[in-house]
């Protein structure tokens, strides 16, 4: 199912498909979040913002506004 990253609940996973914002895409890439790889949501702060996400050995925080630009396909 194609959704944006902010729709995942804690501990849910997906595959990174596309990042609309070019700067964000580049920043995510350099921090180890690569298109086509698995991404999961570890923790959602109160008010759903920010969130902690992981991909492989990378583990970072990101704001909801950025998460909304990251398109993923959800894995069940």
Nearer to other proteins, 45 or 75 (CB): 45
Give the binding-site size for other proteins (rule: CB under 8 A). Answer: 31
Nearer to other proteins, 1 or 36 (CB): 36
Burial (CB < 10 A; 0-12, 13-18, 19+), residue 62, is buried
Nearer to other proteins, 1 or 22 (CB): 22
DSSP-assigned letters across all residues of 16-47: EEEESSHHHHHHHHHTT--TTSEEEEEEE-GG
Binding residues for other proteins, rule: CB under 8 A, are 22-32, 34-35, 42-43, 45-47, 49-50, 52, 56-63, 65-66
């Amino acid at each position: 199912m194609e959704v944006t990253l902010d729709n995942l609940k804690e501990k849910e996973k997906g595959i990174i498909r596309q990042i609309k914002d070019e700067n964000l895409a580049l920043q995510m890439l350099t921090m180890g979040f690569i298109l086509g790889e698995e991404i999961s949501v570890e923790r959602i702060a109160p008010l759903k913002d920010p969130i902690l996400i992981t991909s492989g050995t990378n583990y970072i925080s990101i704001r909801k506004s950025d998460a909304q630009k990251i398109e993923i396909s959800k894995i069940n």
